[in-house]
Chains A and B, each alone.
Chain A
Amino acid sequence: MEPFVFFGGKGGVGKTTVSCAYGLRCARDGHRTLVVSTDPAHSVTDVFDQPFDDSLKSVEGIDGLDAMQLDPEDEVTRHLDEIRQDLSEQVSAAMVNEINRQLEMAHGTPGAYESALFDRFVDVMRTADAYDRVVFDTAPSGSTLRLLGLPDLLEGWIDRLMYKRRQSIDLFEKAAVGSNEPRRVMEGDPVLARLQERKEFFEFAGNALSDDAAFFLVLNPDELSLNETERSIADLREKEFAVRGLVANKLTPSPDPDENGRGARYLRERVETERAHLETIREAFDPPLVAEIGWRVTEVKGDLLDDVASELDIETTIEAPTHV
């Protein structure tokens, strides 16, 4: 299977647990694995009981498994600082204030968090040579889908910008009288160079996402989760990313047949409803159901994670990436 594996789904369905379990399984099968969480809720820390941050850290007690958590807020700040650094090198002090205002505005726009996350995870994909497999635990559905749709949109946009810039430089060159130096020159234009760099970045992202990534959706056996999953499958398909499989999490355990108390009756009915939902998933949904994971009494951690991992029917073999 592809080297990059994404787990998505509605909030609270257990994406983090499933991604960590899958990461663990890959590591146990002898692949060097990295689990990347793009969910600002920071739940990887809770699953492995160990703090993670933006840098690569190996998971204690498990060979060949590393993890990191991306924080969009930190990313936006880092990006802002980088540009400020460039600014102070290039721009005269008088202009810095003027430009700073523009800069802060750009980083306060609604899309900034998404762009920052996108940048960072594409960066991880680009520099993941050391790993056989990278598992992405994504933020809840909506924003993730928008993230994945970015490369196409942005590539087109950058193309238009480059066209406009070329056009204006071309005119400036023509406007230069005789042997006078034109106000802008095409060759070595830093703006065009920067745009080109960005364009290549988005091209890589688009290619890697469509050829080297597999998508799985985690869901719970209830109506809301089913509906959202259906929408996500359609959305992803529209972007030409196929969902490989569905993981049903938090299934209610059925009571022993001889039990007949209030709790047992409740569980029995609950199981019945869930069975109907699972039936719907099998029949109406296109991607196969690759795992059914029951509720655990305690939080899924430590040994329990191994349990969950063994319930995942997702292969771990690695295909060589085509674009990295």
Chain B
Amino acid sequence: MDLADRIEAFRQTLDEWLRGLYHGMISHPSYEKIEKEAEDAEDAFLLACFPDAFGIPSPVSYYTAELLPFLEDEFESWERRLWDRGTLLERKGQQYHF
């Protein structure tokens, strides 16, 4: 293997590492953050749709019940997230990797 090839191989490894580092440190956490934010927005939507799940009677749950067949995944993960969530602070804290 001559020098040029070795430099090329080294650059490829370096490139891969840098990309991985960038993804792990910058892009992945930020995508994750957006995703968590999206989940939070979805939780707010579901809460607005089905407040009676928490004993708050709502004049619209009769109508939003029509959405249930289309909200299968959302509904399931909503319930799971609600069990999972200790405090709002904890939820927001999960988004930072120290």
Residues of A participating in the B interface, judged by any CB pair closer than 8 Å: 79, 83, 86-87, 89-92, 95, 98-99, 102-103, 105-107, 109-112, 114-116, 150, 153-154, 157-158, 160-161, 164-165, 167-172, 174-175, 177, 183-184, 190-191, 194-195, 198
Contact = CB atoms under 8 A, between A and B. Distances in A.
B63 A165 contact: no
A95 B78 CA distance: 13
B60 interface: yes
Contacts of B58: 109, 111
A150 B59 CA distance: 9
Interface of B: 27-28, 31-32, 34-35, 37-39, 41-42, 44-45, 48-50, 52-53, 57-72, 75-76, 79
B59 to A, nearest CB: 4
Nearest to A154: B60
Q: Is the interface of A mostly helix, strand, loop or mixed?
A: helix
Q: Is the interface of B mostly helix, strand, loop or mixed?
A: helix
A79 B59 CA distance: 15
Contacts of A111: 57-59, 61-62
Nearest to B28: A177
Nearest to B27: A177
Contacts of A109: 52, 57-59, 61-62
26 contacts: A79-B62, A86-B66, A86-B69, A99-B72, A103-B65, A105-B52, A106-B62, A109-B62, A115-B59, A153-B59, A160-B48, A164-B41, A165-B45, A168-B39, A168-B44, A170-B38, A171-B35, A171-B38, A175-B31, A175-B37, A175-B38, A177-B27, A184-B38, A195-B67, A198-B63, A198-B66
Contacts of A116: 62
Nearest to A168: B41
Contacts of A198: 63, 66
A106 B52 contact: yes
Contact of B70 (A106, A110, A154, A190): A190
Contacts of B44: 164, 168
Given A98-B75, A168-B41, A171-B38, A157 B68 contact: no
Contact of B57 (A90, A110, A154, A164): A110
Nearest to A90: B69
A276 B51 CA distance: 51
B62 A90 contact: no
B61 A191 contact: no
B63 A115 contact: yes
A68 B29 CA distance: 61
A116 B32 CA distance: 42
A175 B35 CA distance: 5
A168 B62 contact: no
A234 B42 CA distance: 40
Contacts of B37: 171, 175
Contact of A167 (B32, B41, B53): B41
